[in-house]
Amino acid sequence: MSSLLIDDVSMRFDLPDGEAVQALKNVTLNIKEGELMAVLGPSGCGKTTLLNIVAGFLAPTSGTISLGGKTVSGPGPERGMVFQQGALFEWMNVRENVAFGPNMKHMPRSESDGIVDHLLEVVGLRDFKQKAIYELSGGMQQRVALARCLANDPDVILMDEPLGALDALTREKMQGLVLKLWKETGKTIILITHSVEEALLLGERLLVMAPRPGRIHKEYRLPFAELGVGADLREVKKHPEFGPKREEILSMIWDMEEEIMGRAEEADA
């Protein structure tokens, strides 16, 4: 079992003016294979930092990350990343973007073509195979990014606000797609979002982080992701527990934001 272990990770940024930001403090998490974890938290609480550490783009000041017992020391194909936007290669068409991972492994074209065709079918872009990236809408681009990540068959998929730039309708469709892919592929997924609703809908586990220093504030286990697979997500939102949970988490985040503001005012005074 290749579970993802985040072991007592801390991250401090030393700023050039001599001050330091404690972006993460003693974060410990164990994410089992096939789990979908949503991460919520006020702006600046270290979500992106945590994801970048897991992806291997940043080395933590202390603590370790390990995947399936192997310590992470840099980026690798077993941990795929879906960015908010703008991380597609616009000099390649849709097919070439999706086939990027397989091509880097020198997979023969006959083999990679099958993977690409299948994934484009799954994300509903079969007819756009030869299109240039800049000819696609934002939602389509995110689907390409998802397919590109899946084509590499990673063990863990890391998503930093992958749907943040999309309109409400496209976003809902994409949420359904994420759930579907999660169930079909059985991948471990960590998904950062700013939307409480999205976190509730997609997060089998839901992590609420608190800022200054960035740390885990509270963790939930939720039934909605299981319910949402292949179902109408609007129906899920009508679930009797959905509304109360949303209110609970919203007010929690509000309290944190207010605390930040209060502290900022104190600092100003």
Partner 1 sequence: MIILAIYIAIFVGAYLVVRLVMSGLAKAHDFTSLKTVTFGDESAVKANTAASIISVVAVFLIWGAFTGSSLSPVHVPGPFVGDASFTYTAEAEDGSRDDATVTVRVFPVGEDVEEPEVEPGEGFAKNDAATLGAWRSTLIRVDRNDEIGKREGARVVAIDGKPIAPGETVEVASGVVTLTPKGTPNYKPAQGWQMEPIWLPPPEDVIRRIGEIAQEGYQNYTLLEHLGWSLFRVLLGFFFGALVGIPLGYAMGLSGWFRGWFEPIVEFMRPVPPLALIPLVIIWAGIGEVGKIILLFLAALWIMTIAARSGVSGVKISKVHAAYSLGASKWQILRHVIVPNSLPEIFTGARVAMGVCWGTVVAAELVAAEKGAGMMIMVASRFQLTDIVIMGIILIGVIGYGIDILMRMAERWLIPWKGRG
Ligand X SMILES: Nc1ncnc2c1ncn2[C@@H]1O[C@H](COP(=O)(O)OP(=O)(O)OP(=O)(O)O)[C@@H](O)[C@H]1O
Q: How far is the CB of 46 from ligand X (least distance, A)?
A: 4
From the list partner 1, ligand X, Mg ion, none, which binds 254 (C-beta under 5 to 8 Å, kind-based)? none
Q: Which residues in this chain contact ligand X in the complex, by CB under 6 A? A: 13, 15, 21, 23, 41, 43-49, 214
Is position 48 an interface residue for Mg ion (rule: CB under 5 A)?
Answer: yes
**What is the three-state SS of the chain?**
CCCEEEEEEEEEEECCCCCEEEEEEEEEEEECCCCEEEEECCCCCCHHHHHHHHHCCCCCCEEEEEECCEECCCCCCCEEEECCCCCCCCCCEHHHHHCHHHHHCCCCHHHHHHHHHHHHHHCCCHHHCCCEHHHCCHHHHHHHHHHHHHHCCCCEEEEECCCCCCCHHHHHHHHHHHHHHHHHHCCEEEEECCCHHHHHHHCCEEEEEECCCCEEEEEEECCHHHHHCCCCHHHHHCCCCHHHHHHHHHHHHHHHHHHHHHHHHHHHC
Q: How far is the CB of 47 from Mg ion (least distance, A)?
A: 5
- Residue among 89 and 254 whose Cβ is closer to partner 1: 89
Q: How far is the CB of 60 from partner 1 (least distance, A)?
A: 17
- Residue among 176 and 211 whose Cβ is closer to Mg ion: 211
Is position 97 an interface residue for Mg ion (rule: CB under 5 A)?
Answer: no
- Residue among 58 and 260 whose Cβ is closer to partner 1: 58
Write each residue from 14 to 53 as x if it is in contact with partner 1 (CB under 8 A), else as -, in one continuous string: ----------------------------------------
Is position 52 an interface residue for Mg ion (rule: CB under 5 A)?
Answer: no
